Structure 1
Amino acid sequence: MIAIIDYGAGNIKSLQFALTKQNMDSELTTDPKVIKNSKAIILPGVGAFNDAMEALNKLGLIEVLKHEAAAGKPMLGICLGMQLFYETSYEDGMWNGLGLLRGEVSRISNSVKVPHMGWNTLTQEKESPWFTKITDSAYVYFVHSYAVSSFQEETLLGSTDYGGKIPAIVQKGNITGIQFHPEKSGATGLQLLQNFGEMIS
């Protein structure tokens, strides 16, 4: 069972529906016991960085997530969830994230329309099981105004170009972040979720 962290940051029913379509069992939860007993964790999210961190803190989930990450459990952050994995965000101030990945989150360049909203290509930066049956430059669906701006280069699996190179998929060990919405990305998104399922099974 995959634990989807249900902390009030976005419509996660569509994500659960997409997982069910791929025959992947999941549960929307904030219960530390359920999270600890899961085989993998998905941290979704839309909205403001600090609001999300405050919600996780109020639910007592920050230490739970850090503990499970340190124990080697597969964790997937989607959109804002990916950004929360990093050390610092400069969204309306300066805020601490979970610190599971080294780096920072900043506003997308003003040289392009913000938010970055709609379909864009996913460039594969290196080979990975994440890209099984995924063609290079496949289109995926983005909605975000902030993006990872500094990161460890070796963690970059996939990128997109929007006012410069934006990390679209990052991975370090058991921690993976995806900036776009796989559940809104058609057949490519479903294949990515299926690949995740095969990696954790």
Structure 2
Amino acid sequence: MTTVAVLDYGAGNVRSAVRAVAAAGAEVTLTADHDVIDDSDGLLVPGVGAFSAVMAGLRHVGAVDLIRDRHAQGRPLLGICVGLQVFFARGEEHGVETEGIGLWPGAVTGLNAPVVPHMGWTQISAPATSAMFSGIEDERFYFVHSYAATEPPPGTIVTTARHGEDFVAAVEDGTTWAAQFHPEKSAAAGQQLLRNWLATFPGPTPSS
């Protein structure tokens, strides 16, 4: 069976992500053990809360270089919510700038919207080339965030959404995918997205 490691670095509310990936057809382990992660077919990086706190947690378990290496090696990687945000070069919160993992250039900044946080179900706008949203192009997904990236990373497939302004809702960069919304809270559409991710893994197709 396809194996996925969900990175355990102290982020809250990760059990729903573990359950959702398992329901999508993978064998899932919540772990910070580098050997277990290296042996897993896929790595999911969850993220809830502040950019700076997530980066501190990732550094604490030695995951920054681990994530960079996995991306460089072209091994399946998925970031969710702040897990997407930290893939960018930096985050700016309350006047404080924090260095990100730096898979992509650019900054994550406060949403320019009349109501913040952006919370609830929102329609995404996916390009025809998207594998992430195959079969779910017209669906709504569940967002909870006050910050976002607005500049698409060069050379990637970018899906956008709008809340006050257009922002990056998802990125597909080879085998590295990331979503600003929560697939694990997005009902059937989120489950299909996770199945789409597992279908990109080399080897046997995961069971459904």
TM range (shorter): over 0.9
Where in structure 1 do 4 or more consecutive aligned residues deviate above 3 Å? none
- Amino acid corresponding to residue 46 of structure 1 in structure 2: V
Give the superposition deviation at 1:126: 3.4
Q: Which residue of 2 aligns with 1:23?
A: 25
Give the superposition deviation at 1:35: 1.1
Contact residue 130 and residue 172 of structure 2 kept, 8 A: no
Q: Which has the higher contact order (CA 8 A, sep 6+)?
A: 2
Give the superposition deviation at 1:153: 5.1
Q: Quick check: 1:107 aligned with 2:116?
A: no
Give the superposition deviation at 1:154: 4.4
Distance 2:57 2:162 in 1: 31
- Give CA-to-partner distance per residue, 1:6-54, whole Å, 9 cap, x none: 1111211111111121221111010111111111111011001111111
How much identity, in percent, do the aligned residues show? 38
The correspondence of residues 1-201 of structure 1 with structure 2, limited to 5 A, is 1-92=3-94, 93-109=96-112, 111-136=113-138, 138-152=139-153, 154-201=155-202
Give the superposition deviation at 1:125: 2.6
Give the superposition deviation at 1:178: 0.3
Distance 1:79 1:130 in 2: 15
- Amino acid corresponding to residue 54 of structure 2 in structure 1: A
**SS of equivalent to 1:199:** coil
The structure with more helix, counted as a fraction of residues: 1
Distance 2:126 2:74 in 1: 25
Structure 2, unmatched stretches of 5+, are 203-208
CA RMSD of superposed structures (Å): 1.3
Contact residue 49 and residue 82 of structure 2 kept, 8 A: yes
Using the size of structure 1 for normalisation, the TM-score is: 0.94
Distance 1:153 1:64 in 2: 22
Distance 1:22 1:63 in 2: 28
> How many residues in Structure 1 have an aligned counterpart in Structure 2?
199
Using the size of structure 2 for normalisation, the TM-score is: 0.91
Distance 1:192 1:131 in 2: 6
- Amino acid corresponding to residue 152 of structure 1 in structure 2: P
